[in-house]
Structure 1
């Protein structure tokens, strides 16, 4: 899903390329939601061994209805249209990532590693309960997701897929609230 949102010059290499001997056991999943900013549209695909794809299809057809025609047309337009937008969006996300990191790394209450891709930061809290911190941040007007939701208590998940002004304000709120919680 994030193959087109990487912040270094390394070429994307899929698992089937790395381990071709496992090809019959690999399911590749992709979609348009992240790269083409079609979040919420839930349109994607899976490629893999026919037995696995048939089993997934049997389950999926009982859990979902259909994808709206307009969403299908939009996905086709995205995939067949000019692809320069991918590099433009990657550059925008890169600037946003760096702007957020510059602010968050000022806090002694966070250990924030720069991600190589995607548009999320996952800082580790120096101290404190991630659920309580996320609640305090929400009360201050800043929505985050506690790391506990991802099996990583003591972390926060922060999206930087927003405009730079809101992002910087949100990061300053995170730093301010953590300073208050720690005192």
Structure 2
């Protein structure tokens, strides 16, 4: 599999964390990219018309995007159990949606702060996104006793979301009022799949 990636993308981190958990990271050829919300990278667009990473191409030419699709493909290919079957599946997919939703709000906040000039930047928009982030974190604090007992696409997505907050929103104190989530994140972050995929600039 060829994978367009960016080292700071939390969605790419999610894909690589899954691959490491499944023991198939060595089957992925990583293609560096210049992913940007405003500047289109034609190479990425050849894999994904939306111009976003992660975007993958299989050996037979099949194109896969976004992280949700690629992660489920990897789990199927690696015969894993990150995506369980039966009633548990819907719980795990909902956890994934919660983590992805937090990431969506965080990225929209970052884009507003970094891609728009002061004259057109909307404090109201940023406040709205941060409200979503806080609500997602509160739900995670409530649910960690459930998702924190297993490694799944849900718990990995949530871990990547929390890691992104630490990376891009270092001054945002999400821990002080969420002790259970804080303790779980400290523990799960020691897994090789997360320890070896910590985002970095450059």
Do the structures match in fold with TM over 0.5?
no
Q: The TM-score by the shorter chain falls in which range?
A: under 0.3
User: Comparing both chains, which one has the higher relative contact order based on Cα–Cα distances under 8 Å and sequence gaps of 6 or more?
Assistant: 2
Q: Which has the higher helix share?
A: 2
Q: Which has the higher strand share?
A: 1
